[in-house]
Amino acid sequence: MLYNKLKFLKYILLPFQIIYSIIILVRNILYNTNTLHILHTRPLIISIGNLNVGGTGKTPMTEYLIKLFKNRKIAILSRGYKRQTTDFIVANKEHSSIEIGDENRQLYAKFPHTIIACDNNRANGIKALIEYDPAIDLVILDDAFQHRKLHRDIDILLTEHRDLFTQDQLLPIGRLREHKKEAKRADIIIITKCPKNISRSEISIIKRKIKPTIKQKLYFSYIEKPKYVNVKSLQEITININKIHILITGIANTELLLNNLTNNNIKYLHFKFKDHHNLTDENILKIIKAIKKENISKNLLLTEKDYYRLSEKHKKKLQQHFQLICVKIQFNFIEPDKSDFNNELLNFKKSKI
């Protein structure tokens, strides 16, 4: 019965997929033939993005690049997804996630000396960045694979180990924002969230599925074991496996986090919200009421994005009942990919415009 319903739904959505497919195809042809203008700029431009909607690890990858280029004058530019502003903003300590987006709020909190900016139009945003600080010599574009109005010197495409773009379909039937063949635009393709001990044979299978071109580099990465950090003391804590922990998530993909908790015998009561969800007063009340359940820990677990998305009012309300614990993750490459990737980017020379 379920199979028949899904098949029927697919037939209903097929005309919309065809229309969307034509629009995307024409748009890319116009850019490929230079019919639509592409802006070239002085700073080195590195774009991080994906083909499908949802999380593939773009923010951890951005953090990795910030650390990699610590000796350069860099800036981060994104749309500031789900923010309630539209103009060009350079983040400062006064900005909330409502103004600059939760990802930018997280990046600014962790890298306060890096220029973190947002603009709904990234071509305008890059001009504003250069005017803001002419010394910027490298700009990292977050979630910009489809933003072709701005030229990039290095295009990095991310795809998840368990959800390769090759196995997906175009919107609205699938989750792809572009045709699979558009992956050929990428200079680098990174398989994210791999098992740390991924076998050589599985790497070979994935390579055959991705089919990188001769000019493309394919790298494999993983997420390191999470750290649980008390947001007040900034100290890492050990999770008590004899207690049940309330977990709040408003992210696209919770599978990796939940698997890690289960594999480490950490029991949890999960409050799962849609991606980039801003908690309401009602949500907060339900979470606080859950503390009355048997054997609930006073340590409340949140992803970093969820913590930085909390309003000050909600933080104070929760801290009356809980210790807020951030589940911090870190992106890393499987060797020898790490040294190869680092060398490729650090030694990249921008061609003359």
> pLDDT averaged over consecutive 10-residue blocks of the chain (353 residues)?
55 87 94 92 94 88 96 94 91 93 93 95 94 96 93 96 93 93 97 94 96 96 93 93 94 88 93 91 95 91 93 94 94 94 91 53
Residues 181 and 259 in one domain: no
Give the DSSP letter string of 145-174.
Answer: TT-TTB--SEEEEEEETTB-GGG--BTTTS
Q: Which of 110, 87, 114, 112 is nearest to 100 (CA)?
A: 87
CA gap 77, 122 in Å, rounded: 7
Look up the domain containing 292 and give its range.
227-329
Note whether 212 and 307 are same-domain residues: no
- 91 with 194, same domain: the answer is yes
The reply to whether 181 and 56 lie within a common domain is yes
Domains of the chain: total: 2
Cβ distance 239 to 216 under 8 Å? no
| Residue-level pLDDT at 86 | 87
Residues 178 and 266 grouped into a single domain: no
Assessment of whether the complete model's pTM goes beyond 0.85: yes
Residues 118 and 176 in one domain: yes
Q: How far apart are CA 66 and CA 73, in angstroms?
A: 10
34 lies in a domain? Answer: no
CB 185 within 8 A of CB 27: no
Same domain, 64 and 150: yes
Give dist(CA 53, CA 300) in Å, integer. 29
Helices (H), the chain: 2-32, 58-68, 97-100, 102-110, 122-132, 200-210, 255-263, 281-289, 304-309, 312-319, 337-346
Burial code of 27-39, b = ≥16 C-beta within 10 A, e = fewer?
ebeeeeeeeeeee
CATH code assigned at 67:
3.40.50.300
Q: Beta partners for 141?
A: 47, 77
How far from the centroid of its chain's Cα atoms is residue 155's Cα? 15
pLDDT at 219: 98
Nearest Cα neighbor of 138 from 78, 76, 190 is: 76
Task: Check which CATH number belongs to the domain holding 296 and give it.
Answer: 3.40.640.10
For residue 136, what are the CA distances in angstroms to 172, 283, 339?
Answer: 39, 42, 25
325 CA to centre of own chain: 21
Residue 183 exposed, middle or buried by CB count within 10 Å (0-12, 13-18, 19+): buried
Which pLDDT belongs to residue 54?
Answer: 78
Residues 215 and 251 in one domain: no
